[in-house]
Amino acid sequence: MWRAFTCILARDLRLAMRRRTDVLTTLFFFLIVTSLFPLGVGTEKQILRALGPGVVWVAALLASMLALERLFAADQEDGTLEQILLTPQPLSVLVLAKVASHWLLTGLPLALIAPLIALQYQLPETPRMAMMLSLLVGTPILSLIGAIGAALTLGLRGGGILLSLLILPLYVPVLVYGAGAVTVSAIDFGDTRPYFSLLGAFLLLALIFSPLAAAAALRISLE
């Protein structure tokens, strides 16, 4: 099972490196969106500190959605997905490997560059670290939930729009607590542990149930 997981993960990463434009598009989208807001709202420190966490989190959320529609679509087009369904390994484990590759290519880079983006919003060091940690915990949840929507809309016309309508409401709690952790750290210098505890609970639940739900959705979509 572990060999199958690592095989799918390594395969998806190799394929992504051959299509670097898809990875760079997500990163540049995040950079552009987060850089435009300081230009639009001015240089007032308090305004930037209040808006920064929400802007960065919304930009990360939208950026992670850019690659979701292709999470399973490419494998369906070349017949790989049917072969994956026929393997003796649990489909949920293989789905988790694909989700892990999506996060490594989208969520992880966004989290790593977030402290640099936070400098534009004049955030001190502690809120910058809180922003990076909240994205490190929260972006895997976005990928796991998005995999369910990608599986449900697989092969549908206008699947991208339908995918957004399905998963955006589910992203709201992650957005609220992720941005809230940074806001509390930046403005009130309060205790962020409740926010990170809830994000950790969301991540644990998503790791348990999202691969199972996405695997069931894939079987339904391919019938």
pLDDT per position in the chain (223 positions), as tens?
A: 788 888 889 988 888 888 777 778 888 999 998 988 888 877 788 888 888 888 999 999 998 888 887 888 878 877 788 888 888 888 899 999 999 999 999 989 999 999 899 888 888 888 889 999 999 999 999 999 999 988 888 877 766 778 888 888 999 999 999 999 888 887 766 778 889 999 999 999 999 999 999 999 888 887 7
Whether the CA torsion 32, 147, 96, 11 is positive or negative: it is negative
Helix (DSSP H) and strand (DSSP E) numbers for the chain = 10, 0
What is the spatial distance between Cα 96 and Cα 148, in angstroms, rounded to a whole number? 11
**pTM, 2 dp:** 0.90
The residues near 56 (Cβ < 8 Å, ≥ 6 apart) are 34, 114, 117, 118, 121, 131, 135, 179, 182
Angle at 203 between CA 141 and CA 183, to 5 degrees: 75
Contact between residue 157 and residue 163 where contact means Cβ atoms under 8 Å apart: no
The count of structural domains within the chain is 1
Range of 181's domain?
2-222
